[in-house]
A = this chain, B = another copy of it.
Amino acid sequence: MDAVTVASRPIGSVDRLVRMAAQDMAGVDRLIMLRMDSPVPVIPALAEHLIAAGGKRLRPLLTVAAARLCHAAAAAPDASLKLAAAVEFIHTATLLHDDVVDGSTLRRGKIAAHLIWGGSSSVLVGDFLFARAFELMVETGSLRALNILAHASSVIAEGEVLQLTRSHDLSLDQATYLQIIQAKTAELFAAAAEAGAVVVGAGEARVQALRDYGLNLGLAFQLADDVLDYGGTASDLGKNAGDDFREGKATLPLLLAMARTSSVEAGFWQRTVGDLKQTDADFIRARDLVVGSGALESCLDLAMDYAAKAKAALSGFDNNDWRQSLEALADFAVSRLA
C-alpha cells in the first residue's frame, strides 16, 4: 500500500502464534473435517471449499491461545479444541450468508461458494454449520461458553442487519460505523477468546481481560480490512479490492473521505455511493480521493489505538510465550498494512 507510510508502525506477526498453536490447531482441523461431514454430498463439498481455503483461522486460534494462556497444561483440554472448531463453524456460516447477502464474488482468494453451488445451498449449508457448532459446544459441557457464543451469534446477525439497512447511508457517523464493526466482527473475536478462557476454568479477571483483548483486536482487524479495500490488492485481502466501494458500503475510510471532500465532490459521492451508479473507472477516482484526504492514515491511527488496547488488556498475565505471541498478533493486525 504505497500511498500510506507510517514511520512508527510496529512490525507484528501471526507466525509465532501459529507455530506455538500448531499441534492444537491440527486437532481443531481434524474436528472441523469430521464434523462438517454429511451423507448429503454438497454439504462437505461446499464447506470444504471455504474451510480448506482456510486463511489464518484467527478466531479458533484465539480460542486455543486463550485456553493455553490461562491453562498451559501439556495436554490440550479437549473442550477447548471443540470450542475452537465451533468458533470456526460459526464464522464460516456467517461468511457463507454474508457473501449471498452482499453478492460477493471472491472469498479467501477463491470464487465465492454461492457462485458455484447457488445461493440456496450457501444459506442452507451455513445453517448446517451453525447447528453443528452448537452440537460441538454442547459436548464441551460448558453452558457458559455456549451462552457466550450464542449471544455473539445474535449480536453478529444484528450487526449485519444494521449494516444492510444503513450501508448506503451517506450520513452514517463514526459511532454507528464502530457499532457495526464491533457487532459484525469484533464480537466474535471477543467471544472466541473469552470462551477459550471460560472453558478451562479461568478466573473472572482473566476471562474479562481476554474478552477485552479479543474485542479490541477485532476492531483493529476490521478497520485494517476496511483500509485495505481502498489500499490493498486482491492477494492482501483474499477478496477484490474495491468491493466495499462497489457495494456502496459506508466504511470509515469512505465516510471520512466523503466528509473531507464533500464541498467539491458531493455529486460524485451521491452518484457512486448514494445512488450506486458506478462506472469501472469510479473506484480509481474514489481511491484517489480517499488516499488524498488522509482518511487511510486516520483509520490506521484508530486501528493502532485498538491494537494498543488489546495488548494492554494482557498486562495482568505472566509475560510468557503465549502472551507475547498474542501481543505480536495485535501488532500484526495493523502492520500487515505496511
User: For A127, what are the chain B residues with a Cβ–Cβ distance below 8 Å?
Assistant: 93-94, 97, 126, 130, 153, 156-157, 160
| Residue A111 interfacial (CB < 8 Å) | no
- Verify if A100 is at the interface (C-beta below 8 Å from B): yes
Q: CB distance A43 to B161 under 8 Å? A: yes
Q: Is the CB of A40 within 8 A of B121?
A: no
The listed residue (B124, B153, B164) touching A160 by CB distance below 8 A is B124
A128 to B161, CA, bound (A): 9
Contact digits for A93-134, partner B, Cβ 8 Å, 1 yes 0 no: 110010011000000000000000001110111111011101
| Of A24-32, A55-63, A141-149, the one touching chain B | A141-149
CB neighbours of A101 from chain B (8 A): 120, 123-124
A177 to chain B, nearest CB (A): 15
Which residues of B lie under 8 Å from residue A39 when comparing CB positions? 158
> With A100-B120, A124-B101, A127-B97 in contact, is A134–B150 under 8 Å at CB?
yes
Q: Which residues of B contact A135 (CB under 8 A)?
A: 147, 150-151, 154
10 closest A-B pairs (Cβ-Cβ)?
A: A131-B153, A131-B154, A128-B157, A134-B150, A101-B120, A127-B157, A138-B147, A135-B150, A40-B162, A124-B161
